[in-house]
Amino acid sequence: MPYTAGDTHAFEAAGQQFLYLVPSGGIVDLNPVASAVLNRVKSNPASREDLLAALPFEAPDIHEAIDELASFRAILDNGEKVEDPPQDVPDKFPLQTMVLNLTNQCNLSCGYCYEFGEDKVATPDGKPKFMSWDTAKMSVDHLFTESAGRRAIHMTFFGGETLMNFPLLKQVVEYANEKAKAEGRYIDYSLTTNATLLTPAIIEFLAENHIGVTVSMDGPKEMNDQLRVFANGKGSYDIIAPKVRSLLDKHKTRPIAARVTLTAQVTDVLKIFKHLKHDMGFHEVGFAPVTTSPNRLYAIENNSMDRVLDQFKTLAYEYRDAAVRGEHHGFSNVSDTLMELHQGINKSHPCGAGLGLVGVGPSGDIAPCHRFVDSDTHALGHISTGIDKAKQQDFLQRGHINAKYDCHSCWARPLCAGGCHHEAFVRYGDTGHPNLHYCDWIRGWTGLCLEIYGEIATRNPQFLNTFDRRKTV
């Protein structure tokens, strides 16, 4: 019986042919015999005898290549079917991460904010603006109970502007640390902030408690101040720059990251990276195109996205060269993707939202993640009564890769799985809709990272050991 080609994506790196095995998320390099077998089968189904007759290699080598390719399903025995991932989401699975939105208030009025802007999904009217201690305590208890069986758990603090409710953050850390100690477990913290409210005392607390910090900042003054402004329109750069420098100087127990939102007004990736990494001294800088409906003034048009991808490429190749030398580079978009590739991640859902991760809003509503908190439409329960299993199942069933027909033939699906549920809702009105507006971008980016992975795996494989452990826990 002839062999047919399996579901793979071939790529070249360091003069070598590699294969990304889509159903498993594995990566293998191919020797010339295996390459020839695969290429022959791809062009036309071929039996073992056909391959032995057609290829200019020794018979034992061809047999070995066929057996190996078949063993990881790069070629399939005629009629063989590769199973889809199971569609049913297990009834019970442990929570790993909770995002606590300590407040929905913010002292900035960034033009693109998903929480307050034109695309907001939150319905905060009549709900508390600041989380109370009772709600926070119930949230910590919920995280510990629902994560039973996990030794290490994670809590992220978010807003609004997180530091507008710093006293509660402190109280939560003290309470959760005691609880972790009593249970012989480990809890790790992180927060996202606009940095406007950082003080020496807050920085000291963050450093002492090993709290990971991500600062939302869009680059040098002329770029940051385009949209990251106070309510009176004044830019935030002059306020935050000295505070960020002090944070970077004093907080050494965890690497500090910057997170940049790219908009129509702010797309100079190389200049932004240089400023934040080299002038300011952030350990890592990550970029995300703004989440928005396509008609907003700050939405990035397709040709600007191409320019962004070109600049991403330049930085990604810098990253590759540094990795080959065994050096840290700091472009976190690459390290995040390499980590997923290295760990063989193959997703049924685009992210942990509603699965191993939940968000809790100031009102105590439980949401799939921080972007959905305080939204009546998306609430999955309340912290006083727990998760509504039926709502959670509905959210997860709709977001499952099997429910996204357009993604079934896409080789990038192990990492993408249709993309962010929140962006899907903003764009298509359905959290389970695949984000088809950015497929070219995702495939271009994943292909680039595969190539970089192959280069590093060939030229300095020890570097990849840094990705053996997950970043957060």
Q: From CA 406, how far away is CA 151, in angstroms rounded?
A: 38
Characterise 180 by phi-psi region: left (phi > 0), alpha (psi -120 to 50), beta (else).
Answer: alpha
Query: Minimum distance between the CB of residue 305 and ligand SF4, rounded to whole angstroms?
Result: 14
- For residue 235, give the DSSP letter: B
Beta strands 26-30 and 16-21: pairing type? antiparallel
Instruction: By CB under 6 A, tell whether 111 contacts ligand SF4.
Output: no
Query: Minimum distance between the CB of residue 435 and ligand SF4, rounded to whole angstroms?
Result: 5
Which residues of 137-248 form beta strands (DSSP E)? 152-158, 186-193, 212-216
- 114: CB partners within 8 A, 6+ apart: 120, 121, 291, 292, 371, 422, 426
Q: From CA 116, how far away is CA 295, in angstroms rounded?
A: 17
Whether the link from the prior residue into 160 is cis, omega within 30° of 0, is yes
Considering only the C-alpha atoms of the chain, give the largest distance between any 2 of them, rounded to a whole number of Å: 77
Q: Which stretch binds ligand SF4 (CB under 6 A): 165-173, 270-278, 319-327, 345-353?
A: 345-353
**CB of 381 or CB of 419, closer to ligand SF4:** 419
**CB of 46 or CB of 358, closer to ligand SF4:** 358
Instruction: By CB under 6 A, tell whether 418 contacts ligand SF4.
Output: yes
Instruction: By CB under 6 A, tell whether 378 contacts ligand SF4.
Output: no
**CB of 251 or CB of 404, closer to ligand SF4:** 404
Instruction: By CB under 6 A, tell whether 192 contacts ligand SF4.
Output: no
Among 443, 447, 458, 464, indicate the residue that binds ligand SF4 (CB under 6 A).
Answer: 443
Neighbours of 12 (CB within 10 A): 12
Q: Which stretch binds ligand SF4 (CB under 6 A): 130-138, 208-216, 404-412, 458-466?
A: 404-412
Instruction: By CB under 6 A, tell whether 96 contacts ligand SF4.
Output: no
Instruction: By CB under 6 A, tell whether 5 contacts ligand SF4.
Output: no
Kindly state the number of chain residues that form the binding site for ligand SF4, as judged by CB under 6 A: 22
Instruction: By CB under 6 A, tell whether 351 contacts ligand SF4.
Output: yes
Q: Could you say which residues in the range 153-182 bind ligand SF4, by CB under 6 A? A: none
Grouping H, G, I as helix, E, B as strand and the rest as coil, residue 398 is helix
Among 14, 439, 464, 473, indicate the residue that binds ligand SF4 (CB under 6 A).
Answer: 439
Query: Minimum distance between the CB of residue 421 and ligand SF4, rounded to whole angstroms?
Result: 4
What one-character-per-residue DSSP string does 348-363 give? SSSSSBTTTEEEE-TT
The contact set with ligand SF4 (CB under 6 A) reads: 350-351, 353, 369, 371, 406-407, 410, 412-413, 416, 418-422, 434-436, 439, 442-443
